[in-house]
Amino acid sequence: MEILNEIKFKMPSLSVNEAAARAVVSSFLIQADPTVEELSDIRTAVSEAVTNAVVHGYRHKKGDIELTVRLLPEREVYIRIKDKGCGIADIEQAMEPLFTTAPEEERSGLGFSVMQSFMDRLKVKSAPEKGTTVTMRKRLSEHGV
């Protein structure tokens, strides 16, 4: 994979860092001149992935979340959010709309559905007690190029 530019950001699993993750992604992607809608979509998908790591991955425990953002050829954006939390035993079930592991917290169970709707590709790799890696890709339009 040819990488034109890349940034890596590591943060503790605190819900306040969801905003930091959105800001980091936005600041980095400005160089690619995305549309406002594209940037909003990406920020929302990142927010959902980080929220999942905080709420479900670490379940009120502390740990690190790693965010990697890459600019690839042909205006493709690659984003990876990785945690070393509890992991997901059944990824297929976890990706079903309305499924949540935290119903007592009134979670909607739409995180993965939101990510899928805003990004072109979504891949989830996970193993119990090993953590979860969410990889997303989106091709930016040619509006300003």
Is 48 tagged catalytic? yes
Is the model's pTM score more than 0.75? Answer: yes
pLDDT, tens digit, 9 for 90 and up, residues 8-56: 999 999 999 999 999 999 999 999 999 999 999 999 999 999 999 998 8
Q: How is domain 5-139 classified at the architecture level of CATH?
A: 2-Layer Sandwich (3.30)
Of 66, 76, 107, 137, catalytic: 107
pLDDT, tens digit, 9 for 90 and up, residues 120-139: 999 999 999 999 999 999 99
Is 18 tagged catalytic? no
Of 43, 48, 70, 80, catalytic: 48
Give the chain as a 3 state SS string.
Answer: CCCCEEEEEEEECCCCHHHHHHHHHHHHHHHHCCCHHHHHHHHHHHHHHHHHHHHHHCCCCCCEEEEEEEEEHHHEEEEEEEECCCCCCCHHHHCCCCCCCCHHHCCCCCHHHHHHHHCCEEEEEEECCCEEEEEEEEECCCCCC
Is 106 tagged catalytic? no
